[in-house]
Chains A and B, each alone.
Chain A
Amino acid sequence: MKRSFAIGMRRYRRGRFWRDTAQAYLYLLPAFVILGTFTFYPFINSFFVSFHSWLSFAPVKPFVGFANYVKIFQDDLFWLSLWHTVYYVLASVIPTMALALFIAVLLNSKIRGRSFFRTAFFLPYITNTVAAAMVFLWIFNRDYGLLNYFLHHLLGLNLIDWFNNPHYTMPVVILMGIWKFIGFDIVLFLAGLQNIDQQYYEAAEVDGATGWYRFRHITLPLLSPTTFFVFIISLIGAFKIFQQVYVLWPGGAGGPLNSAMTLMVYFYHVGFGGAWHLGQAAAVANILFVLIFIITMIQMQLSKRWVFYQ
């Protein structure tokens, strides 16, 4: 009796599992269809293309194995653009997040004009990149720009040629990246901060904990899931940086002496512009994908050590 009930229960549960599976797949159907058609299919296609000598319209597109990858690894420009990408990721993601966290903490206190400040900090994120780039072209203009006006004419520092001196091109890209994406991070951090239960702070108050101590031992650990989420999203976005560079230095060369050429700009340089080597371009994009995937997976593993779930 008891045994048959258990079997019946298991059968019932198994039946429910498969019924749920059918229903879940139905719910996921739009996602399957759209992602399948417009993301997975072209992605698999580009994987295939990357193993062929796919030179625009050449009638024969022979299978070449890893030749496209080998070719790219032999290209100095690839390594240069990889270095710039890593440089951008390191120099923009962490500072943007640190600054965003700081501002979010300030915005999270009970102050007036919060909506004004939130809008102000979020404004760059909603701005069209082309329009934003035009503004940056002016701010960093050597002769007429606002920044040099302050640095050179008011403070008497050396005149910096931001766009034409290869040493300064990456800093410009990074500063623009911070300006553009900090609002996104702030909004997510604000959300995370509002999610922290007030009772933790009240308990800390009773113990006489001071501001820094509270931040270090309550805010940071309890915020770690948000921090992790923001980190992963920012990391993925930063590795794919393209538009900012492309609109600041049109033409696809990535600034003077390729000094701001990132992996996606390199991808564009190889595949579009005029070279149209689609096989090599696909290989570049696949390398970038694998790179992001591996780093994300490592972060997922490492996160177990520092991300604290309530």
Chain B
Amino acid sequence: MLKKGLILLLAVALLGLFAVNTVAATKKVEVTFWHAMTRANLDTLTALANEFMADHPNIQINLAYQGGYGDLSTKLLAAIMAGNPPVMAQMYEDWTMKFLEADALMPLGDQLSPATIVDIPQSLIESNTYLVNGKKALMTVPFNKSAMVLFYNTDLMKQPPKTWDELLQVSKDLTVVKGDTTVQYGFGIRPYTEFFIQFFHQAGGKIFNEDMTKCLINSEAGIQAMNYLLQLKPYSLYQSAYLSDPFGAGKVAMYIGSSAGITFVASASKGKHGWMTADLPAGSINGESMIQGTNIGVFKIGTTQVQRAAAVEFVRFLLSQKATIEWAEGTGYLPVLKSAAASDAWQKYVATHPDRKATTNMILKGFVYPHQANMYNIRSEIETAFEQVMLGKATPKAALDAAAQKIDSEYLSH
């Protein structure tokens, strides 16, 4: 009885297996796009893809969610090694450098009109341009870009701080201690590399020298940034988890984070307190904001000429003014074209969504990481130094010197 039942079940299961695997043949050009977008971001991306497909009935865009960025990178690594990457994918700059070692990407610069290229902010052009066979080429295009902005609780302050000094003062003023418990923190510090680099850059720091042979993290600017953050620390919630949660809960009065968090902050603060974004408080040298997020690359291995052409068509569409604005409205990311940011449509949107104003301002005052294939390791070294200082394990100078020395000898030597 058991045996018969088992065999029957197995037979049914196998039949199911074959039935489900039968794929209807289509004549359309299929373009698979691996991404890490969820929720509202995914909805917007899907809407854009549908719009595009309506205009290009011969192209089928297959959006394939591949988990978080870590999962996506592992997957791309495996897929390229197997010679079977998707047609296009989201990618960070340091991954892109590795993909270029495999000669896996097709250059996108020649595929775009000069007008479009000129329209992309200079910092983003830099971060998408790579040295390939001794020549500089635009290999990828910017996609989901966000800027660091200041989130602040409007129930607690009318005007956000404009400078580092003001930030420190407001943080002090808004920190409330009852007994031995801090019931409210003025600011929040999250010990990850980009957080430190944001302050380092505003103090005038450059991570590497011109020819990328030496790490300059232990420069005057580095020590100044560390010391400033040390001053902020007593008035800051220090945690490695996202600061959007405690900000939403009203525990933190201000924090600096990616503008990609706008949607989340809106739901986390709902019914508790008002909030707004502002330009970053400016440091001694500048008030620039770090631009983060991924770019889109098109793979030339494992794909056909027709697929690549279709992918390029989709890239062009995504870089149109209309699509860029639609994307930015739906997600909280930046419009990656200068003309889009200046357009009436976007200005009108910002007028009704003031939380996007700072984001728009920051795109023109943005800076990006320089290209380095070992950026993952370099970032972890800087993060360790940052943590050591914040946890009182080392002085700013000692920690940054050690990090710079390790980076020089281990990751910049070749």
Residues of A within 8 A of B (CB): 56-59, 137, 142-144, 152, 159, 161, 163-166, 249-253, 255-258, 269, 272-276
Contacts and interface: CB of A to CB of B under 8 A. Distances in A.
B101 A142 contact: no
Contact of B98 (A57, A159, A166, A256): A57
A156 to B, nearest CB: 10
Q: How large is the interface on B (under 10, 10 to 19, 20 to 34, 35 or more residues)?
A: 35 or more
Interface of B: 68, 70, 73-74, 77, 80-81, 92, 94-95, 98-99, 101-102, 104, 180-181, 191-192, 237-241, 246, 249, 251, 374-377, 380, 383-384, 387-388, 391, 393
Nearest to A257: B387
Given A57-B81, A252-B70, A257-B391, 14 more contacts: A56-B102, A57-B80, A57-B98, A57-B102, A59-B101, A59-B102, A144-B249, A161-B239, A164-B191, A255-B240, A256-B191, A272-B77, A274-B94, A275-B374
B384 A258 contact: yes
B239 A164 contact: yes
A58 B81 CA distance: 11
A144 B249 CA distance: 10
A18 to B, nearest CB: 29
Contacts of B92: 274
A133 to B, nearest CB: 12
Contacts of A142: 239
A257 B393 contact: yes
B96 to A, nearest CB: 11
Contacts of A163: 239-241
Contacts of A144: 249
At the interface, is chain A mostly helix, strand, loop or mixed?
loop
26 contacts: A56-B77, A56-B98, A57-B81, A57-B101, A142-B239, A143-B246, A144-B249, A159-B180, A159-B181, A163-B240, A164-B240, A166-B391, A249-B240, A253-B380, A256-B191, A256-B240, A257-B387, A272-B70, A272-B73, A272-B77, A273-B73, A273-B376, A274-B73, A274-B95, A274-B377, A276-B77
A137 to B, nearest CB: 7
Contacts of B251: 143
B264 to A, nearest CB: 15
Contact of B101 (A56, A165, A251): A56
A275 B377 contact: yes
Contact of A164 (B98, B238, B246): B238
Contacts of B181: 152, 159
A255 B180 CA distance: 26
Nearest to B192: A251
Nearest to A75: B410
A250 B241 CA distance: 9
A74 B167 CA distance: 43
Contacts of B95: 274
What are the 10 closest A-B residue pairs judged by CB atoms, nearest first?
A274-B376, A57-B102, A57-B101, A56-B98, A275-B376, A272-B74, A257-B387, A164-B239, A275-B377, A274-B94
Nearest to A246: B70
B383 A57 contact: no
B101 A250 contact: no
B106 to A, nearest CB: 16
A134 B94 CA distance: 30
